[in-house]
Amino acid sequence: MSSSGPRQAAYRLGVLKGDGIGPEVVPVAVDLADLSARAAGLSVEWVELPVGLEAYGQLGDTLPQQTVEALHGCHGWVLGPVEHHRYDPRLSGMRNPSGTLRRLFDLYANERPARNLPAVPSRYEAVDLVVVRENTEGFYADRNVLEGDAEVLVTPDVVISLRVVTRRACERIAEYAFQLARRRARLRARPGRVTAVHKANVLRRGDGLFLACCRAVASRYPDVALDDVHADAAAYFLVRDPQRYDVLVTTNLFGDILSDQAAGLVGSLGVAPSLNSGDEHAMAQAVHGSAPDIAGSGVANPTAEILSVAMLFEWLGRRFDDPAATEAARRLEEAVGAALSAGVRTPDLGGSATTAEFARAVRARLAPGSML
Ligand code: NAD
């Protein structure tokens, strides 16, 4: 886990808008986050950087070197969704910015909370869980070999997919989950619990190692309970009784799938935030993709992106022991909650508000008296 560094006079945060609905929701999130930061006395310099299909068109690279270099000088950044299925792997310069950045900056922990938000219609109530997903290895072909790709086409009819599981990655993701469970327990004044999700019954070595690491780390957290569940049973219990879970920790692919499922439990992918973090940097990135079916129509829900930036502010608050960053996160979350409570909802939540109308409603709560 990262130790906290000296408080900064100002924070440099990159803005990478991404594809599809990215250019619709990222600027809204940044604008509102900036307002919240100012009100909390947090100084942020936002640095817009090229990424995605637009960057490919202009610079021949979906993740240009100049972007990567600039990010090294940033404390963190916001990455909008990327339309990865349109990236042709046969063309050079068509890298998946999301996976590449996670690996390049060792953003090993993907924290994906799912909780009910005020006045957001959903199938369940009182859901308040977090999926903690290992981000740097597993079955993801673009990040588990040094060069090339870990999906091998043996014949036109046979594919071998390699999965990597290391003790180091398992231990640090377990550590992250226990630290998070401890913080949540303090905030909620109840005991913390971590549930390790695995398939050690079938993937005996890989998931066996993951489970053993979770148990070893648990011995250092006597105040946090550990239990475990097979991934298939976890999917079942999540739809039966999601309130039973606190922090779920798991490997990359299971975490990717279960966190989308968890978003569905509390209303929409449009309200599901996430943060990718390592010891030195963090990347705010909503759980959802580029939503090509609604891109360009001005109705995307920016909530997930806004709350992802709030998570980035919270991370800055912990990393630099800076209460102004924590306060900026709190104000942003509160303003989103207040706008939702007032019934302002985008179509994914059954409402008729446009992205801009929802943004105005949040802005009015952040800065009463500002232009509506
Ligand atoms: P998706 O998340 O883009 O869309 C799934 C459904 O959720 C769609 O109906 C969409 O309209 C809706 N939705 C998503 N975000 C929304 C929002 N903010 N407001 C309202 N509705 C929203 O998933 P997909 O269709 O499987 O993927 C589309 C593309 O996105 C693919 O190229 C995929 O590879 C990519 N993708 C990127 C990321 C990322 O960059 N983080 C994550 C997942 C998928």
DSSP string, 38-52: HHHT--EEEEE---H
Ligand 1: which of 290, 294, 303, 346 to mutate, most ligand atoms within 8 Å of CB? 290
Total domain count for the chain? 2
Collapsed DSSP state (helix, strand, coil) of residue 148? coil
Site of tokens 């398992």: 170
Which range marks the domain in which residue 135 is found? 123-265
Residue 43 has pLDDT above 70, yes or no: yes
288 and 351 in a single domain? The answer is yes
pLDDT digits (tens, 9 = 90+) for 155-184: 999 999 999 999 999 999 999 999 999 999
Same domain, 239 and 350: no
The answer to whether the beta carbons of residues 263 and 208 sit under 8 Å apart is no
Taking the C-alpha atoms of residue 26 and residue 286, their distance in angstroms, rounded to an integer, is 10
Q: Are residues 181 and 298 in the same domain?
A: no
- Write out the H or E segment, with its range, that includes residue 58: helix 52-59
137 and 242: one domain?
A: yes
Ligand 1 pocket: which of 28, 107, 135, 269 to mutate (most atoms within 8 A of CB): 269
Identify the domain boundary among 265, 294, 316.
265
Q: Give 178-222 pLDDT, tens digit per residue.
A: 999 999 999 999 999 999 999 999 999 999 999 999 999 999 999
Domain co-membership, 261 together with 290: no
264 Cβ inside 6 Å of ligand 1: no
114 within some domain? no
- Going by pLDDT thresholds of 50, 70 and 90, the confidence category of residue 77 is very high
Has residue 349 been placed in a domain? Answer: yes
**b/e per residue 11-42 (b: at least 16 CB within 10 A):** bbbbbbbbbbbbbbbbbbbbbbbbbbbebbeb
Question: Among 232, 265, 298, which residue terminates a domain?
Answer: 265
Residue 112 included in any domain: no
Centre of ligand 1 to C-alpha 287, Å, is 8
Tell me the percentage of the chain whose pLDDT exceeds 70: 98
Cα 358 to Cα 17, 307, 340, 363: the distances in Å are: 19, 14, 9, 9
Q: Is residue 2 part of a domain?
A: no
CA dist 359 and 372 (Å) reads 10
Rounded distance from Cα 294 to ligand 1 centre (Å): 10
CATH number of the domain enclosing 297: 3.40.718.10
Which ligand 1 atom sits nearest the alpha carbon of residue 301? 19
* Residue at which a domain ends, from 241, 265, 289: 265
pLDDT in tens, 225-266: 999 999 999 999 999 999 999 999 999 999 999 999 999 999
Does some domain include residue 117?
no
Q: How many CA atoms lie within 13 A of 340 on its CB side?
A: 25
The answer, yes or no, to whether residue 315 has pLDDT greater than 50, is yes
